[in-house]
Amino acid sequence: MIDIRTLRDDPDGVRAALARRGVEAAEVDAVILADAAHRALLARAEALRADVKALSRRVGEARKAGDGARAEELSTESRRLGGRERAAAAEADAEGEKVRHALLYLPNIPAEDAPDGASENDNVEIRRWWPGRERGAAEPGRAPHQQVPHWEIGEDLQLLSLERGARLSGSMFPLYRGPGARLLRALTAFAIDRHSPAYEEIRPPTVVLTETMTSTGHLPKFADDAYHLERDDLWLIPTAEVPLTSMHRGDILEEAVLPLRFTASTACYRREAGSAGRDTRGLLRVHEFDKVELFAYTTPAQALGAQADILERAESLLQELELRYRVLDLCAGDLSGSSARTFDLEAYAPGVDQWLEVSSVSWFRDYQARRAQVRFRPQGGGSPQLVHTVNGSALAWPRIWAAVVENGRQQDGTVRLPECLAPYMGGELLLKAP
């Protein structure tokens, strides 16, 4: 969440920064007013507490002087003021909770370098890559034999069964078969091998506590997009970013150990509540999917370097997979609630003739760390400071699976996989009907 001191010290700056994200000034003003009310109530409670302490001292003095009547009179007044102090403290706590709740809904302040814009239409493409580009090859077109969507290829070669997945769990839950399932597993092993040991491999739980989801900013604002196990008050994770962010919740790390880098392969679950009817065919938007995540705790000075490293790793995987892709610099209005700066990677899938988002690489400043209370102790001394967090997908597999299959389709209907997957596919790179 945003530092309340920033709101107090520079309200106009915060209003202007959040206006770039489409946040109305009234939302910011509501938090500022609630904070002022909270501080006034705290001051009132503190004043009453001081009066109670003063009366308690006078009670002791009266008793020491042998004036029992006066001591009793002062004790009665102290009890009366004590009741008022407790009521004032409770009122202050309630107002403080309102402030905290309101802060949970305010998005992060966008980085100054994030482009201006209101929606995905204003994102800025900063570069493209395609196989052979370094050798001067022109950007490839869309060959006729590639103009077949992955769900048809998957059915024809018995790699994918959306109908059977829907029979088991409902729509948007795919079922992978045979070499199609192995391809999914191969992609995960390929990515983990590329990221280890620079990033420590973690296998976190995929069901987490409410405070774990809150730490990343997924709660309370985006509760409708998450799966909630109400009986146990647990949540299915939408991304491994969630448990990785809270691995050191409440800890104070030594600056010397930073950056701490982790990678995790997990299943992820998203209701996609706000996407009804949009890209719901095939694997373009699903409720359950596998993803390899990269994550780092850093000092403020290390954060942008960590983001650049994750972005480079994600691009490197796409290049090894021989997928044409582009890099987008997300405008302020299209950033996720927690992000200060995000770069998206989109792979081109010729079968559906779309650029598919396959990775988002984000820097969150201390927005998430303030929620999770993850701090570091500076080597040069001084008070502990909040870490910065950085994360990105490298990569999310359903759309990668789709792009690999569509790009690899041959004229005879078989699919040729990229060479980098040979060690993970038993050397068999040609997918064909059984």
Q: Is residue 46 scored above 70 in pLDDT?
A: yes
**How far is residue 257's CA from residue 200's CA, in Å, rounded to a whole number?**
13
Give the per-residue pLDDT at 272.
Answer: 79
Determine phi and psi for 108, rounding to 5 degrees.
-70, 155
The answer to whether 421 and 429 are in contact (CB under 8 A) is yes
Mean pLDDT of 308-314: 98
Domain match, 99 and 151 both = no
Domain match, 90 and 160 both = no
Q: What total of structural domains would you count in the chain? A: 2
Q: Is residue 380 scored above 60 in pLDDT?
A: yes
pTM for this predicted structure: 0.94
Identify the domain containing residue 157 by its residue range. 120-431
Q: Is residue 360 scored above 80 in pLDDT?
A: yes
Is residue 115, in this structure, part of any structural domain at all? no
Give the contacts of 4 (CB within 8 A, at least 6 positions apart).
35, 99, 103
Domain match, 95 and 149 both = no
CA distances from 423 to 183, 252, 321, 322, 426 (A): 11, 41, 13, 16, 6
Determine phi and psi for 343, rounding to 5 degrees.
-115, 130
Give the contacts of 113 (CB within 8 A, at least 6 positions apart).
341
Mean pLDDT of 320-336: 98
The answer to whether 340 and 369 are in contact (CB under 8 A) is no
Residue type, 347: A
Domain match, 317 and 212 both = yes
Among candidate residues 79, 105, 131, the one where a domain is terminated: 105
Tokens linked to 365: 């400043």
Domain match, 82 and 224 both = no
Among candidate residues 70, 105, 140, the one where a domain is terminated: 105
Is residue 111, in this structure, part of any structural domain at all? no
**How far is residue 222's CA from residue 110's CA, in Å, rounded to a whole number?**
19
Domain match, 71 and 162 both = no
CATH classification at residue 334 = 3.30.930.10
Domain match, 88 and 139 both = no
| 3 state DSSP class of 114 | coil
Over pLDDT 70: what percentage of the chain?
Answer: 98
Give the per-residue pLDDT at 276.
Answer: 59
Mean pLDDT of 258-273: 94
The answer to whether 385 and 401 are in contact (CB under 8 A) is no
Domain match, 168 and 44 both = no
Nearest to 142 by CA among 406, 320, 326, 388: 406
Torsion over CA of 99, 100, 105 and 108, rounded to 10 degrees?
110
Domain match, 51 and 195 both = no
Give the per-residue pLDDT at 280.
Answer: 75
Query: Over the stretch 273-303, which tens digit does the pLDDT of each residue have?
Result: 655 566 778 999 999 999 999 999 999 999 9
CATH classification at residue 82 = 1.10.287.40
Domain match, 95 and 169 both = no
| 3 state DSSP class of 227 | strand
Mean pLDDT of 313-338: 98
